[in-house]
Structure formats: C-alpha cells, structure tokens
Structure 1
Amino acid sequence: MKLKYLLLTLVFVTAFSCDKDESNYELVDVATPQIMSKAEFRKSVSITTPRAIENAGKIYAYKDYIFVSDLNKGVHVIDNSNPKFPKKIKYLKIPGNEDISVKNDFLFADSATDLLVFDISNINSISLKERLEDVFYVYNFQIPLGVSFVDYKEFNSQTEIIVGWTVTKERREKIDTRFIDMMFDGVALNSASESSTTGQGGSLARFQIVNNYLYTVGSHEMIIFNISNLSQPTLANTLYAGNNIETLFQAAGYLYIGSTDGMYIYDLVNPENPARLSEFVHWTGCDPVVVDGDYAYLTLRGGNNCGQQESVLEVIDIKDKTKPTLAARYTLDNPYGLGIKNNTLFICDGTAGLKLFNKEDPLNLYMTNQFKNIQSKDVIPLEDKLLMIGGETLYQYIYVQNGVQLISSLDLK
C-alpha cells in the first residue's frame, strides 16, 4: 500500500501537466506528510512513567509482564504478577513502532525503518542497547482514510521519516483509480524447543522468534535477523515474501504468513533463507492465521479496506504443506485475531465480542460460548490464562470447565 502511493505521485504529476478541461477536475481531500529528519526521529526514543494509551494495538506476553503497543507511538509495560490487579509501570516511547518480540530479557522493536534492542532484565532500569538503521524498507505511516490523493513531493525517504499527516481540500484532476490499482497490483520489493525464554504474541503479530533468528514481515518482504548475540543482532537476509503481508505465525519449523490475498507456507530448513512451499489463495480480506496440528485457521474480514466479501473463518488442511486445501468455512460477523488452547478455538469477532468454538473435530466446529457487549481484537492463550485486547481495554480470563471466566479488565486510557 505504501509503495503504491509513492508510485501514484508520479502518475498524478504527469496527469496534472496535460488536460486542462475544467470538467475533468474536482475538489478532493489531499494528504501531505508531516516529516521529521531521521536524526531527530532517532533521538526521540525514551523510557518514561506510565501514561494513557491513545490507540491500543497488539499485545505480547513475557514472564510476568504484558506489553501493549500504542500504534506508531510506543509500548506500555504492565506488571501482571497478580493477574487480578495488573498495573501499568512503564512506557517505552518508540515512534513508528508496530511490533515487538522478546527473548532472554532482550526486547526487539521496530521504529519505522530501524530495529531497536532493549535490555529489560531490570524492568525498573530498561536501557536501549542497539539500533540497526534502515533495515525496514516499508513501514506503516498510516495514510489517513478517505483521502483521494497523497502528495509526497517534499518528502525525502533517504533522510526523513513520516510522522503524521495534514489533510487539505484541493482542486485535482479526476483519476481512474481502478486503472491505477491494476497497474500496481502485485508489485514486489526485491530487496524448535529451546532452553531460553521467549515471549508470546497474538495472531496479529508480524515478528516471530525461532531459535537464533528473528523473522519479521512487512507489506511485501520478509526480513531476517540473526540474534545469536541478543544485544547485537545482525541483518541476515531480506527477501520478497508475497503480496500485502499482514501477519506471521510459526509452528513446528514452518512459517505461516497471512496476507490479504492468501496464506503462504515457508519451511525453515535453511533458517536464513526460508523456502516457500505453497500458497493458499482466498478472496481479498484481512487475514490473521494460527496453526494447530494438521490444520490452519484463518479469519477473513470483509468491508472497509479489507475487501468486499463476507467475513468468515476458514479451516485449511495442511497435512501436505505443499498442497494446502480448504477443509471448512464458517460465517462470522467482523473477525480479527484468534488463538487456540487445547480443543478450544478463541475468535475475536470485533463488535460481536469473543467467541469460543469446540475444535475437537476441525471440520465440524460449533460455538460453546460468546462474550457479547465487548470489543475484541486479539487474544493470547497462555498456559494458565487467556489475554485479550479490545478497544482500549486489556481483559484476562482463567480457564474453567467448558470455557473461560473473567478475572480482570484494565482500562488502558
């Protein structure tokens, strides 16, 4: 999406230099990036006292701590040693952040184009240990919804970072965006059990740690870091991974990548150069994926920027990793993340709340419980409890017979 808009700028400039027929013009919303030099941007990382969250994103669990992202702004640290009374204790100001992963008290976080490494061995004295600059070619600078044009002409991607947007009404020539979408469809960027302690993210994660490697995905690329030396990771490889990548899940030596177009399966026989084994294609829709045994479970959310089809859960038979096939499909309302604990499949169905399904027979799922009147976005099924984020609230449940029971909810505002 970001690359598409960058290329569209050239199309727009060309179009404006030609036809001056007034009937071809209209008043539209134009977004202009607010920019900051990379030098200043990199000075803005800090560790501070807790603050109210603005836009709750993803969750991550590590030891007795829960990390909640404040989309593109930073990470809130929550002491969860007593799950009945979780407490916000720190805030990591990390501009341009979307994801984190933790291994052996080292926290890895993206910051727009950079990868940061924090030492969290002493949670009261967190320190920044390393920064790998310009390792992410694509980052999420959140183009405002509803704008018709994006004007990048004053932006230098080599020396500057987009930190916000100014939207104005301007007279612009009408453009057939259907033709533009066809022009840039499919644009590619060429660019195991351990004794260690690794945290756990939800199904919306784009970071995964497997042994001595950190795997990350952007909109079209996979970037792999060797983290054998946790405080000094090195860039191992960058490769094209697929179209419109959104999520990354790892299980039993394989990576499962969720995109708006399908699910990709990669093996990790060569950890620095994963091999694509197959692709399962579906209609356009937002697509997190989790895996359990011989089946992958993915939700497809229709509407808005996610596509125009219905919202469903798809169950994919992956016994043969080279030939994934659709095994079952179930209708949902507005699904986001999902997770699995034993024979229970947890689905965050947006405004329809949290839904629990019995998956003893993956081809005949049935709902066993539903928690309505809450907004649900993603879950992490831990060994002893279930974490869920929804709206600006962190929920925690304990497992009980035939379901889960709420033990606490923390307002993050």
Structure 2
Amino acid sequence: MKLKYLFLPLVLLVFCSCDTDGSDYEIVQVATPQIISKTDFRKSVEIKPARQIEEAGKIYAYQDYIFIGDLAGIHIIDNSQPEQPTAVSFIEIPKNQDVSVKDNYLYADSATDLLVFDISNINKVTEVERLEDVFDFYDFEIPIEADDVDFQSFDFQNSIIVGWTVASERRKIDDPILFADGVFDGAGNVMNSGESVVGMGGSLARFQIVEHHLYAVGSHKMTIFNIAHLEAPVLEHSQYVGWNIETMFQADQYLYLGSTNGMFIYTLDNPLVPEFVSEFIHWEGCDPVVVDGNYAYLTLRGGNPCGQLESVLEVVDISDKSNPTLAGRYSLENPYGLGVKGNTLYVCDGTAGLKLFNTVDPRDIKLLKTLKDIQSKDVIPLQNSLLMIGNQALYQYEYLENDLRLISTFAF
C-alpha cells in the first residue's frame, strides 16, 4: 500500500514535467460509448405490463389504439373510449424510433433490426419476425456536452451503443478530433385499400406504409420492404436519398422527406425504387413536413443544434412537383410537428402552445387561435378527433368551427 501511494506523486511529476506552461494543451469532454453485444441486445425485447411513460416520443394511431414511443419501447393505449383512455401494456424495444401498423401487424425498428409483432389480440402481443442488420443507421444520441467522441473500442459489426460515459481528458490542442455524426451509418385519415387498414403517424415519423411496401428513412438512406406477406417482410432495396433526413410524409403516391436544410420529393411510380423529383432548399433547421393538395407545410425550428436561430412556418407550392416554390413564411417560437385537416392547419409551437391556422387561401394563411399553457410536440388529425402529444400528456380534442374542445387528457 505504501509503495502505491509513493508511486503516484512520481507519476504526476513525470507527467507534468512534459509540459511546464500548459500552452499546448486543453481539457476536452470526451464521450465513450457504452456497448452491448448484438446477441444480448436482441434478447431484450419483452411484452410487459403497462407502466408510467418516462419521456413521450412519437405517436401513432391504429383503429381504437394509440401507440406512444418512449425511451425504451412503445406504450399501447386503449382509446375505444376517448374520454377515458387506458394503458394496456408496454412493448420493451431497445433503441426504437418508429412504428407503423397494417392489418394487425406492427412494424418497429430496434437499432439495426426490423421487428414484426402480431397485435390481433392486443392483450397478448407476440413477436413474429426479426430482420437483422437491415438498417445501417440508428440514432445513438451523442451527449450534447461532449467535445469529442472516442469510438476506438467499438465494434460496429457486432455491438450496439446503448449509452455514454463522458470524462475530461487533457489533450494537445492540435490532436485530431474523433467526433462523428449522431446518426449511425399520414396524410388525412386512416387509409383503406380493399380490406386493409393502415394506421396513421404524426409529422415526425420516419416510417410510411404505402400499399404493399414499408418505407423507412434514416439520416441519408431509404430502406424499402415488401410487406405483401405481413408477418414476413422482405428487404427489397435501399438507396441514398439526401442528407440529414429527419422525417417522411406520404401523399398521393409521393414521399416528402424533411431534412435539416430542405424538403426532398420522391415519386412512387416505381414503388420498389422511389425516384427523386426535386428539392426545396431552405436554411438549416429541424424540419417536419405535411402535405395537403398542392401545398406543403414545413416548420423550421431554430435555436438548437439544427442550425439557425429563427423559427418559422413555411408554405410551399408543390403544384409543379419538379419546381416547388415558397408561397409564404410565418414567424413561430419553437415549432415541432404539425398536421392538417380540412381548412385548418394545426402547428405544435412547443412551449408557445398549439396554433390553429385557416388555410382556405394557402398563400395567405390566418392565425385562428392559440391554445396556450400547454407544451405541444406533435399532432395526428384523425377523422373525428385531434390527437396531440405534449409535455407529460396525451391530449384529445373534438373539432369545432375554428376551434377545438378538449375531450380528455391522459397524463403520464
């Protein structure tokens, strides 16, 4: 024990003697990934009893059910009585970001894998399929306080990042930076196609189901699955579609991809290989998009890692898909998701509440009302009601003329 404590000062002395004035060194915050083997990671999926929501993410509606994303999976909410929704169960899915449902089959990502669940018996959900390593991207959320990232001990092929440790390191100022990007490399009502029933997600979705295909986008790539056999999807194709893609919306056989610096339009004339049509460029900003007829509505949120300080709502004329043009721009405070129903556009303006705009003239939309004292993140305009997810609550509203009436609040 005495030798150990005698040795420590000597080490410090030698270390410090290498740099007497410290002018060539700096202290940086370095993030190191916490990893788990893919074998152990894939054993983590489990159907559990309903539990409290920790951090609500995206929402998805299917028939009488609402699915709410959380930090480690999906909450199932029975909404057969909108005045009193009840929690059913929790599907624990590590590194889940998105979900889509068709004819009682639920599709969810889990880092690099696609999972399929049979939800025909909502009280006995079962996993029926897993396609491994079909995504070469997943969000691993590098800590915002990190100046640098050390990936040297990470095996991308056989491991998954599930968390981070951040520590201070003393480095030479001219040492190379290891930092990398933090991403690893519905319109209208419920859609009906024959006997098929497809659910509906919000404007922050990255998954879209169109007929017999499931489309999924990551930061730069789109992955297409054939789901003609719902319980056994087949990976058909993947392609580069842009950069910093955050959201995807589908309408009238087109896909609209929201990125941090623009909106990309792809046609589904060939559903297996979506074809690029055009791009609408704007300044850097977080960018969900929804479409109604010949107009697209985009929110750009500034004051964060997405880019600029200004936050706005943009209206884009897409009557000529090959040449989208700006039709209007309106100032907001800190917008997130949005949705459109009839002649009303619902915009989640974060802590500034939910804003209702009249879109009778899309080139000159008018603010109708602001629901204050709520924090709004995303909305889904259903046939008979509006779903909104906010800070620690799921809200449901009845449509009124130029207004909304609160039906229920499901607090987390």
Please give the alpha-carbon distance, in whole angstroms, between the structure 2 residues aligned to 1:54 and 1:324.
40
2:138/2:184 contact within 8 Å kept? no
TM-score where L is the length of structure 1: 0.90
Give the corresponding residue for 2:260.
Answer: 260
Q: Percent of counterpart pairs with the same letter?
A: 61
For the residues of structure 1 that align with 2:362 and 2:49, how far apart are their CA atoms?
45
* CA apart distance, 1:305: 0.7
Tell me the residue number matched to 2:391. 391
Amino acid paired to 1:86: P
CA distance in 1, matches of 2:184, 2:87: 41
Q: Which amino acid aligns with 1:144?
A: P
Once the 2 structures are TM-superposed, how far is the Cα of residue 173 of structure 1 from its aligned partner? 3.3
Q: Does 1:122 align with 2:121?
A: yes
Aligned residues of 1:283 and 1:309 also touching (Cα < 8 A):
no
Partner of 2:13: none
Q: CA deviation at 1:53?
A: 1.5
Instruction: Give 1:188 deviation, angstroms.
Output: 12
- The offset of 1:392, in angstroms, is 1.8
- Aligned residue number for residue 320 of structure 2: 320
Shift in alpha-carbon separation, 1:320–1:51, aligned structure 2, 3 A: same
Aligned to 1:345: 345
Q: Which amino acid aligns with 1:402?
A: N
- Counterpart amino acid of residue 23 in structure 1: S
Structure 1 CA distance for aligned equivalents of residues 297 and 174 of structure 2: 39
Q: Retained in 1: the 8 A contact 2:149–2:178?
A: no
Matches within 5 A, 1:101-112: 101-112=100-111
Q: How far off its partner does 1:174 sit? A: 3.4
Q: State the Cα distance separating 1:304 from its structure 2 match.
A: 1.3
**CA separation in 2, counterparts of 1:29 and 1:246?**
27
Structure 2 residue 282 is matched with structure 1 residue 275? no
Secondary structure of 2:215's counterpart equals strand
CA distance in 2, matches of 1:325, 1:401: 30
* Alpha-carbon displacement from aligned partner over 1:339-389 (angstroms, at most 9, x marks no partner): 001000000000100000001001111111111111100000000000000
Partner Cα distance (2:387, 2:78) in 1 = 14
Deviation at 1:175, TM superposition (A): 5.9
In 2, distance between residues paired with 1:350 and 1:402?
Answer: 20
Q: Deviations over 1:21-70 (max 9, x none)?
A: 94232112111111000000000100000111122100000000000000
Q: State the match for 1:358 in structure 2.
A: 358
Q: Counterpart of 2:41? A: 41
Q: CA deviation at 1:172?
A: 2.5
Please state how far the C-alpha of 1:180 moved relative to its aligned partner: 9.4
What are structure 1's unaligned runs of at least 5 residues? Answer: 1-18
Deviation at 1:306, TM superposition (A): 1.4
Q: Which amino acid is 2:342 matched to?
A: N
Contact 1:223 1:238 survives alignment (8 Å): yes
1:167 is matched with: 166
Question: Secondary structure, in 3 states, of the residue corresponding to 2:83?
Answer: coil
Contact 2:112 2:132 in 1 (8 A): yes
Q: In structure 2, the residue corresponding to 1:263 is in which secondary structure?
A: strand
Paired with 2:148 and 2:402, the residues of 1 have a C-alpha distance of 51
C-alpha distance in structure 2 between counterparts of 1:306 and 1:34, whole Å: 25
CA distance in 2, matches of 1:176, 1:348: 43
TM-score by length of 2: 0.91
Quick check: which has more Rg, 1 or 2? 2
Aligned to 1:377: 377
Match of 1:304 in 2: 304
- Aligned equivalents of 1:53, 1:62: Cα separation in 2: 19
User: Structure 1 pair 46/175, CA: closer, same or farther in 2 (3 Å)?
Assistant: farther
Q: 1:91 to 1:366 in 2, by over 3 A?
A: same
Secondary structure at 2:101 match in 1: strand
User: What's the counterpart of residue 209 of structure 1?
Assistant: 209
- Tell me if structure 2 keeps the 8 A contact 1:288–1:338: yes
Q: Does 1:97 align with 2:91?
A: no
Cα contact 2:139–2:184 (8 A) shared by 1: no
Q: Is the 8 A contact 1:51 1:91 kept in 2?
A: yes
Partner of 1:411: 411
Residues in 1 aligned to 2:376 and 2:201: alpha-carbon distance in whole angstroms: 16
Tell me the distance in 1 between the aligned counterparts of 2:402 and 2:334.
24
Aligned twin of 1:88: 87
Superposed CA deviations along residues 100-136 of structure 1, whole A, max 9, x for unmatched, are: 0000000000000000000000001100000000011
Partners of 1:57 and 1:263 in 2: how far apart?
Answer: 22
Q: CA deviation at 1:193?
A: 5.5
Does structure 2 conserve the Cα–Cα contact (< 8 Å) formed by 1:299 and 1:311? yes
Matched residue count: 387
Cα 1:173–1:83 shift into 2, 3 Å: farther
Unaligned runs of 5+ in 2: 1-17, 186-190
Counterpart Cα distance in 2 of 1:359 and 1:24: 59
Whole-Å Cα distance in 2 between the matches of residues 194 and 22 of structure 1?
69
Q: Deviation string for 1:127-180 (max 9, x for gaps)?
A: 000000001101011111121011111110101000011111111233699x99
Q: 1:312, 1:122 → 2: CA distance? A: 43
8 Å CA contact 1:378, 1:388 repeated in 2: yes
2: CA distance between counterparts of 1:100 and 1:332? Answer: 29
Matched, 1:152 2:151: yes
Runs of 4+ in 1 over 3 A off after TM superposition: 19-22, 173-177
* Structure 2 counterpart of 1:151, one-letter code: D
Aligned position for 2:330: 330
Change (3 A) 1:32 1:65: same
Q: CA RMSD in A?
A: 2.0
- Equivalent pair of 1:41/1:161 in contact (CA under 8 Å): yes
CA distance in 2, matches of 1:102, 1:173: 52
